[in-house]
Structure 1
Amino acid sequence: MTTNSPYQLAVVISSVREGRFAPVVANWFLDRAKQRDDVTLSVIDLAESPGDLSPGVAGADAVVVIVPEYNHSYPGPLKTALDATGPEWHGKPVAFVSYGGISGGLRAVEHLRPVFAELHAATIRETVSFPYAWNHFGPDGEHDDFEGASLAATTLLNQLNWWANALRDARQVRPYAA
């Protein structure tokens, strides 16, 4: 039994700092995702609903986490929000769009992968990362490497589409049991 309807993608904006750069990165990613007909989007902004991931994740088939790198890892409020959830993540794919200094947030992503494994979620390989993001987005919200960044987002969304549909179909046939 397979479904061909669009999958529900929740995009989590994990930075809550005042003056944060997260909305620029999130809006850039959301603009690319909105161009697709295989996905329905919702946004969970931890700055607006601190620690409350449950409803948005429970209703999603897949999740993209927009994550900055703070001190070689991810933001504390994201850890708090993740620790307050559990079954909502079971058997769901998670992808990352990261930003930060020289590593582009990839150290934060690598710290998140084992956390999501403990939540019984499947992290996908592809990521979109932006080293020194604040130097590469213009006032229009576009990245100065339009082609490369857009290709990375398309690759991530294509891979996430496969995982979201495969795992959604699997959960319908056999509910995930931790």
Structure 2
Amino acid sequence: MITIVASTNRPGSYTLKLAEYYLKKLYEQDQLAEILSLENLPEGLVHPEMYENHKLPAWEPMQELVSRTKKFIFIIPEYNGSYPGILKLFIDACKFPESFSGKRTALVGVSTGKYGNIRGLEHFTGVCHYINMHVLPLKLHIPHIHKEFNEEGDIFKEDTLKFTNQQIKQFIEF
């Protein structure tokens, strides 16, 4: 099973829109997948005992999804030249090391600027290596994400179509 992590808690984000696009493309390839949007993190997740075994009951469904996931696709927007703090909180809240260790991941950076979160993906790649994830070498950087979608919510720019299709194909085989 593949889980696509929409790595921001910002409502109505382009990150979630791109996650929905990836989900559609994976379904077209007969892949079992679902989206985990960080918009849906339980309130109160940040508390003094979050790093111990005192998790919120509302956290358990997310931990179960992470535990049963074999592969992850992280769609990561640029926040202040890196990745969102809420993504780090999510990783920190998951059981370590079993949540991610030995699992495979693909990374997609997005921004409304012209670099597509290059630095943020490099920062997050370091986190992935620390938690022992296998990172697909083809990392995508999609700049000007707000200009990438047509009215149906599909990517329409030729280069972006080419590289997202290539990444999805490689990730299925990875």
Deviation at 1:19, TM superposition (A): 4.4
Corresponding residue to 1:43 among 24, 35, 48: 35
Structure 1 stretches lacking a partner, 5+ long: 1-7, 164-178
Runs of 4+ in structure 1 over 4 Å off: 50-53
Partner of 1:104: 116
Which 10-residue stretch deviates more, 104-113 or 45-54? 45-54
Q: Counterpart of 2:166 in structure 1: which amino acid?
A: T
Partner of 1:59: 68
User: Is contact 1:14-1:78 (8 Å) kept?
Assistant: yes
Corresponding residue to 2:129 among 101, 107, 117: 117
User: Is contact 2:104-2:134 (8 Å) kept?
Assistant: yes
User: Is contact 2:8-2:84 (8 Å) kept?
Assistant: yes
Cα distance in 2, alignment partners of residues 13 and 56 from structure 1: 14
Structure in which a larger fraction of residues adopt strand = 1
TM-score by length of 2: 0.80
Corresponding residue to 2:163 among 152, 173, 176: 152
Partner of 1:133: 145
In angstroms, what is the RMSD of aligned CA positions?
A: 1.7
1:94 aligns with 2:87: no
Report the count of equivalent residues. 154
Cα distance in 1, alignment partners of residues 134 and 115 from structure 2: 23
Structure 2 stretches lacking a partner, 5+ long: 46-58
TM-score by length of 1: 0.79
Partner of 1:14: 7
Cα distance in 2, alignment partners of residues 92 and 133 from structure 1: 28
Deviation at 1:97, TM superposition (A): 2.0
